[in-house]
Amino acid sequence: MNKIRSYIKGVGHNVPDRVVTNDELSKLMNTTDQWIVERTGIKERRFADEGVGPSDLAIPAVEDALQDANLIKNDIDLIIFATVSSDYYIPGSGCILQHKMDFGNIGAFDIKTSCAGFIYGISMADQYIKSGTFDNILLVCSEVQSTTMDFSDRGRNTAVIFGDGAGAIVLSSTTEDRGILSTHLHSDGKNVKELWLKEPSTKSSNRLSKESIERGDHFLSMNGREVFRHAVKRFPETINESLEFNGLTSEDIDLLVPHQANLRISDMIQKKMGLPDNKVFNNIQKYGNTTAASIPICLSEAKKKGRINNNDLVLCAAFGAGFLWGSTIIKW
C-alpha cells in the first residue's frame, strides 16, 4: 500500500485595491522613493480599507483556492489560519472566517508564527494529512498590518516595509509521487525584542497607558539592521538543510519562492544558490512584506503566470519575528 502524502491541490490570493506608493509615504515621513527602493526593493504596497480585518481579506483568497482545487466548502476538514494581525485579541481569526464563509462546524485555529506562518502552517497540515486524520485542509495566511504602523519619522524604518494581503492553499491527500517532500522549523527567542509589538499585552494588564502610547509601544517596531543580519544567515542555512535532507542541489530546484522580506535578501540568496532570474519569484516590489501571506501570494501569482507546473520542485523559505525560520520543498 502506497503511503499517504499531502500536496497543494489549490492556491489563491487577494490584496486590497488601495495602492500606497513610496511617494505617498514620503508625504507622511522623512523618506523618498529612492531611499525605500535602495534599501528594500519596494515600490508600493496595498493597504486595507478601514474596518477590514484579515478574515475579510482572506475570503476572496479562499474562494480562489477552492476554485483552483475544484472543491467546495463542504470538502474542507480543517482550517489553519496564520496571522500576527488577527481581527481581535480574542478569539482567533480562524473561527471568524469559518463563520463568515459558513464552513460548518469543522475545526479552526490560529497560529502566530509571523513571517514563517506559511512554513509552520504547511508543516502542521502535512502531518495531519499524512497521519490520515484529514483529507483536505485549508491553510489561510492573511495580514492587515497597516493599522499597526507608525507613519511618523520615528516609525519610518518599519512603516515603509509592511503591507496587507491574503493567500490561501488547499492541501489534500494523495498516494501519488508528489507533494510536500519535507519541512524544517527553527526558532531563537532571545531576539524577540528586535521585531515586536510590545503593547497591549497581558503583562501590562492589557491596558495602554498614556506613557506607552507616547512611546509608541502599540506600533510594530523593528531593529532593521539586526533582523537583516540574522536573516542573511538563517535563510541559506534552512535552504541548504532542505536540499541536503532530500538529496538535492540548487540545480534541481525549478522555482525558489522566498518570504518577501527584502529584495536585497532575495537577491543575495539567489546569487549564493547560483539561480537564474527565471528560477526565482519575487513580488515585494508591488506588495511589500505581507508577513505570513507573502509566500502563498507568490505561489498563487506564480501559478497563474505559468511559472509553476506539475512535477516542478518548488523551494520556499522564510524568516521573521520570534525569531522564527524554516523551509519546505514541494513537488507540485
Residue 16's contacts (CB-CB under 8 Å, 6 or more residues apart) are 46, 47, 48, 49, 52, 57, 164, 165
Per-residue cell: 68: 483552483
Which of 141, 157, 259, 262 is catalytic? The answer is: 259
Question: Are residues 182 and 313 in contact, defined by beta-carbon separation less than 8 angstroms?
Answer: no
Catalytic residue among 13, 14, 115, 283: 115
Catalytic residue chosen out of the listed positions 282, 283, 289, 316: 289
State yes or no: is 289 an active-site residue: yes
- What's the rounded Cα separation, in Å, for the pair 191 and 128? 31
Q: Quick one: angle between helices 294-304 and 117-130, nearest 10? A: 80
Cell of 281: 519569484
Alpha helices, H only, 6-47: 22-26, 33-40
Tell me, yes or no, if 115 is annotated catalytic.
yes
* Helices and strands: H and E segment counts in the chain: 11, 13
Integer-rounded Cα radius of gyration of the chain: 19
> Do 160 and 152 contact (CB within 8 A), yes or no?
no
Contacts of 264 (CB under 8 A, 6+ apart): 39, 40, 41, 228
What 3-state class would DSSP assign to 323?
coil
User: Is 184 known to be catalytic?
Assistant: no
SS3 319: strand
Give the separation between CA 207 and CA 220, rounded to whole angstroms.
17
Q: Which residues are catalytic?
A: 115, 259, 289
